[in-house]
Structure 1
Amino acid sequence: MPIEKERKDVGIADGEVSSGANVGLSSYELERLENIRQNQAFLSSINLLQANEELKKLTRPKPSQRGLMSRPKAAVKEVLPARKSLRLQNIKAEPLALLPEPRVMLIMQKKPKKPPGPLPMVAVNMEEGSKLPSQLLELWSEDSTEERKMRLDLKEYRSALESMKITKDRVAKVVMEHIFSAAFHPSASSLLLATGDKLGKVELWKLGGDWGDDGVLFFEPHTGPVSCMAFSRAHPTQLLSLSYDGSLRCMDVEKAVFHDVYDTAEGLNTFDFMSHDCFTLVVGNSLGEVAIVDRRTPGNTHEFLHSLDPKTLRCVSVHPSQKQYFVVAGSKVVNIYDSRYLTKTESQAVSVLRGHSFSISSAYFSPHTGNRVLSTCMDNYIRIYDTSAMTTKSPLLTTIKHIRTGRYLTKLSAKWDPKQEDCFVVSSMAHPRMVQVFHESGQRQHSFIDTKHRHIVLSATAFHPTRNAFLGGNVSGRLYVFSD
Structure 2
Amino acid sequence: MATSRTNSEAVVQVDLEATVRRSSRSVLTPTRFQYSAEIATDIKKKRTTTTTRPTTHNDKKHQNSRKDIKEEDVKNSAVECTSGGHAGLSSYELERLENIKQNQAFLSSINLFQATEELKQVTRPKLSKRRLMRLQAAVEKGVPVRKSLRLQSLTLPPKPRETQICGLVSTEDIKMELSLKEYRSALKNMKTTEDREAIVVNKLLVCAAFHPCTSSLLMATGNTFGTVGLWQLGSDWGNDSVLRFEPHTRVVACIAFSRAHPTHLLSLSHDGTVRCMDVEKAVFDDVYDSEEPLKTFDFMSHDCTSLVVGYFNGKVAIVDRRTPGNSHESIHSLKFKRSLLCVSVHPLQKQYFAVAENGIVNIYDSRYLKEKKSKTVSQLHGHSLSIHGAYFSPRTGNRVLTSCMDGYIRIYDTSAMTKKAPLLTSIRHKLQTASYRTRVSAVWDPKQEDCFVVGSTSKRHIVLVFHESGKLLHSFVDRDNVTSVLSVTAFHPTRNALLGGNASGQLHVFSD
Identity %: 60
| Matching residue's letter, 1:133 | F
Q: 1:471 aligns with which of 471, 495, 499?
A: 499
2:133 alignment counterpart: none
2:128 alignment counterpart: none
Task: Confirm whether residue 381 of structure 1 aligns to residue 381 of structure 2.
Answer: no
C-alpha deviation, 1:121, in angstroms: 8.0
Partner Cα distance (1:420, 1:121) in 2 = 43
Which structure shows the higher helix fraction? Answer: 2
| Matching residue's letter, 2:502 | N
Q: 1:133 aligns with which of 106, 112, 134?
A: 106
- Comparing 139-148 with 442-451, which one deviates more in the overlay? 139-148
1:317 alignment counterpart: 344
Q: 1:340 aligns with which of 367, 381, 405?
A: 367
| Matching residue's letter, 2:22 | G
Alignment of 1:303-452 (within 5 A): 303-308=329-334, 309-408=336-435, 409-452=437-480
1:387-443: per-residue Cα shift (whole Å, max 9, x none)? 000000000000000112235252111100000000000111123111100000000
Conserved in 1, the CA contact under 8 Å of 2:265 and 2:279?
A: no
Q: What is the TM-score when the length of structure 2 is the normalising length?
A: 0.70
Partner Cα distance (2:252, 2:320) in 1 = 21
2:241 alignment counterpart: 215
Alignment of 1:191-202 (within 5 A): 191-202=217-228
Q: 1:117 aligns with which of 10, 13, 22?
A: 22
Partner secondary structure for residue 193 of structure 1: strand
Task: Confirm whether residue 482 of structure 1 aligns to residue 499 of structure 2.
Answer: no
Partner Cα distance (1:312, 1:121) in 2 = 37
Q: What is the TM-score when the length of structure 1 is the normalising length?
A: 0.74
Rg comparison, structure with higher value: 1
Partner Cα distance (2:35, 2:486) in 1 = 29
Unaligned regions of 5+ residues in structure 2, if any? Answer: 1-5, 10-20, 24-31, 37-95, 119-155, 160-172
| Matching residue's letter, 1:117 | R
Unaligned regions of 5+ residues in structure 1, if any? Answer: 1-111
Return closer, same or farther for 1:140/1:340 CA change in 2, 3 Å cut-off: same
Partner Cα distance (1:410, 1:449) in 2 = 20
Partner secondary structure for residue 7 of structure 2: coil
Task: Confirm whether residue 242 of structure 1 aligns to residue 251 of structure 2.
Answer: no
Conserved in 2, the CA contact under 8 Å of 1:125 and 1:213?
A: no
Q: 1:158 aligns with which of 164, 181, 184?
A: 184
Q: Which has the higher contact order (CA 8 A, sep 6+)?
A: 2
C-alpha deviation, 1:276, in angstroms: 1.1
The root-mean-square deviation of aligned C-alpha atoms, in Å, is 2.2
Partner secondary structure for residue 450 of structure 1: coil
1:92 alignment counterpart: none
Return closer, same or farther for 1:162/1:126 CA change in 2, 3 Å cut-off: farther
Task: Confirm whether residue 146 of structure 1 aligns to residue 158 of structure 2.
Answer: yes
1:31-79: per-residue Cα shift (whole Å, max 9, x none)? xxxxxxxxxxxxxxxxxxxxxxxxxxxxxxxxxxxxxxxxxxxxxxxxx
Matched residues, number: 375
Return closer, same or farther for 1:154/1:217 CA change in 2, 3 Å cut-off: same
| Matching residue's letter, 2:99 | E
Partner secondary structure for residue 210 of structure 1: coil
Conserved in 1, the CA contact under 8 Å of 2:454 and 2:464?
A: yes
Return closer, same or farther for 1:453/1:210 CA change in 2, 3 Å cut-off: closer
Return closer, same or farther for 1:457/1:125 CA change in 2, 3 Å cut-off: farther
